[in-house]
Amino acid sequence: MNKHHVNDEQECTNKTNFAVAIETGNPLQPDFGDKAVNEDILNEICCQINSNPIILENIEAGGVNLICNENIRTPYKRIAMEQSILHSSKKFVKRRSGAMDPKTIGLVENDIVELVKCYIQDKRNRVNGKFRLVSYQVRRLSEEPVGYLGDHYLLDVNLREKMVHYSPEEEEKYAEEEYISFFVKVIPDNVPKLADYIKKMGCFRKEILLYKHVIPRLQDVMIGTRPFVPTAYFTKGDRMIVFENLKSEGYSIVENTKNLLDFDHLKVALQAVAKLHASSLILEDRSKTPIPKLFVGYLNENAYVDDDDHVRKINLENAIQVLCEMIKRIDKYARSERLEEILHKVRDIIRKIYDFSTPSTVFRNVLNHGDLWCNNVMFRYEMIPTSVDTCINTEGRKDTSDREDPAVDGKDADVANKQLFVSNGERRGRKRSSIKKPNPCEVLNLGNWSAPCASRPSSCILIDFQIARYAPPAYDILSLLTSTTTREFRRRYLKELLDVYYNALQSELDWFQRDVREVFSNGLASYRDSCDQYQLAGLIDSILYRHVTMLPMELVARCREEHRLPGTVGSQYNCAKMDICIEAWLQYDEYRNFMMDLLSDLVDQYILQA
């Protein structure tokens, strides 16, 4: 028997093993066998895989996927490979499951050309870069909803640089192809009630205005440092915004940690928050104008609006009823003689958020992100050194600023980063490579953060500015630290983490030869006073947002299927006991424990101990 063919029994085994690989979620990798095909075809297949993760999962032959577990040996037939190359070289690449024509979300080819031009201008400083679109497609970021105020997609683009004095045929033969991935956020028109709610709330309009006019100014202020916000390359009306795909740059959201962050992640996140705040302070200093006057109307409050006719006022009153129902289900309060007092005072305390969310007349205000939690902070990682180095301090962290770029560190970082991700703009390789390039859309599995040879967070980017506001720094800080930690964690580490932010802000301002006392008049003492004042704001904010955003995805998906709003965002139920948040409380331990921790902190600190 020819060694490049298998009998029926072996083929059946291969298919069985392949099915197991799918069910267990094992990473799928190509295996071409030994001299199974022509070397030229093999090289072309490799270059297709290296340049485009779309192709990686879509090489098929006879209905059997050719990408298999590394322990499985599946035959690769010459004709199948030739068909794969043929299909991938057409105008539209062979699409992975769930891929769609961009027109389905309102993106036409001219839009894609425009956003790619902006990308090339930004990344390569080339105003008139000429290229041809080879292929493009959109696909959902996830089968399940990943956000509450928009639909999320990935836009995959293959392009080829135009070559002077070359015919299209010669260009196709000699020019390199390039893969770029973008992240697209769109108003969910397929859920009319949610789309109408988003429009009334004005969150898409606010984010688009900020990314078009404000955030680029902040990025200019902080030029030469690590990015702290993403770049938007295209907007369409008040319904769509297209960003760089941060996962292609090595950033990912922390997963499988019950929506909590550890100390190292919080430290890096606070440094990014300090950079955001510092950039707004420097922008105001240079323009001699407060941001709300510099960009009139851009930061109008759209989350906590004390107007009886406003949709958000209705939301808040619905939320109060549901939160009271949750408190009734916490044993220590349900049995308390003070239950009625607790329920009455909780209402008044939560309504204090209206005052907290307005610009302060006591403390210096800055541009606040407004919605800092696990899903709105993305991290990039570096490998933890395996040997002791003199440039590593006793905590195992390098004593360098993100503005410094030592030659040795730079080389090390490049090596580590290449191992962790594939960047946008990677060009097609023409030769076979032994290096496996990970899918840039793949979420990094952190595993044990503190394990030897593991990775640790090195930088953070803040995403989603739909409810940004103008308020003291402490509002953002305490919202982040309350939304992403437990009560016990805050008891142990809050003071230390607050100092992390203060030191980071001081370092940022020092770079611009500004004194932190311009923000906090008495330095650290004033800063801590502001944090004491806004600790309640962070707690209320976390309770009001997280009782909806922490809902299990299956419940959110059900709401969308039924064309209704998730949780207390909708006013479809007159009885709070019937709200979907109460259903989540009763059925999901993780949700109940998280909300119980926040509500107990509120009741114990601000009612029972007051």
| Non-local CB neighbours of 6 within 8 Å, separated by 6+ positions | 14, 75
Task: State which amino acid sits at residue 49.
Answer: I
Which CATH architecture fits 253-381+451-552+588-608?
Alpha-Beta Complex (3.90)
Q: Which of 227-241, 409-423, 535-549 has the lowest mean pLDDT?
A: 409-423
Q: For residue 183, list its beta bridge partners.
A: 154, 243
Task: List the structure tokens of 119.
Answer: 């990308």
Is 77 a residue whose pLDDT tops 60? no
- Residue 28 scores a pLDDT above 60: no
pLDDT at residue 530 in the model: 98
Q: Report, as an integer, the average pLDDT of 455-467.
A: 95
Task: Quote the CA–CA distance of 211 and 231 in Å, as a whole number.
Answer: 8
Scanning 25-97, the segments in alpha helix (DSSP H) are 39-51, 53-56, 78-88
Domain boundaries, the chain: 99-222, 253-381+451-552+588-608
Strand, helix or coil at 541?
A: helix
Residue 73 has pLDDT above 70, yes or no: no
Task: Collect all residues with Cβ–Cβ distance below 8 Å to 610 and sequence separation of at least 6.
Answer: none
Helix (H) or strand (E) holding 29: strand 29-30
Coil/strand/helix, residue 306: coil
User: What residue spans of 75-177 are helical by DSSP H?
Assistant: 78-88, 109-124, 168-174
For the chain, what is the mean pLDDT?
78
B/e letters for 415-428, b = 16+ CB within 10 Å, e = fewer, are: ebbeeebbebbbeb
pLDDT for res 163: 76
SS3 240: strand
pLDDT at 171 over 50: yes
Residue 502 has pLDDT above 70, yes or no: yes
Q: Computed from CA positions of residues 376, 438, 225, 520, in that sequence, does the dihedral angle turn out positive or negative?
A: positive
Q: Bridge partners of 155? A: 138, 182
Residue 54: pLDDT above 80?
no
Which residues touch 106 (CB under 8 Å, ≥6 apart)?
186, 236, 239, 240
Structure confidence by residue, pLDDT tens digits, 335-355: 999 999 999 999 999 999 999
pLDDT of 560 reads 77
526 phi/psi in degrees, rounded to 5:
-65, -40
pLDDT the model gives residue 394: 33
Helices (H), 162-306: 168-174, 192-201, 203-209, 215-221, 263-287, 291-294
Report yes or no: 247 and 440 within 8 Å, Cβ to Cβ.
Answer: yes
Does 277 have pLDDT greater than 60?
yes
Give the residue-averaged pLDDT of 558-570: 68
Q: What is the DSSP secondary structure assignment for residue 166, as one 8-state letter?
A: -
Confidence band for 413, pLDDT divided at 50, 70 and 90: very low
Question: Could you tell me if 347 and 320 are in contact, meaning their C-beta atoms sit under 8 angstroms apart?
Answer: yes
- Please tell me the distance from the alpha carbon of residue 77 to that of residue 74, in angstroms, as a whole number: 10
Q: Which two tokens stand for residue 183?
A: 């992240």
Say yes or no to pLDDT of 198 above 50.
yes
Q: Is the pLDDT of residue 456 over 80?
A: yes
Q: Can you tell me the distance from the alpha carbon of 280 to that of 273, in angstroms, rounded to the nearest whole number?
A: 11
Q: What is the pLDDT of residue 127?
A: 58
Predicted confidence (pLDDT) per residue in 356-384, tens digit: 999 999 999 999 999 999 999 999 999 87
The secondary structure of residue 607, as a DSSP letter, is I
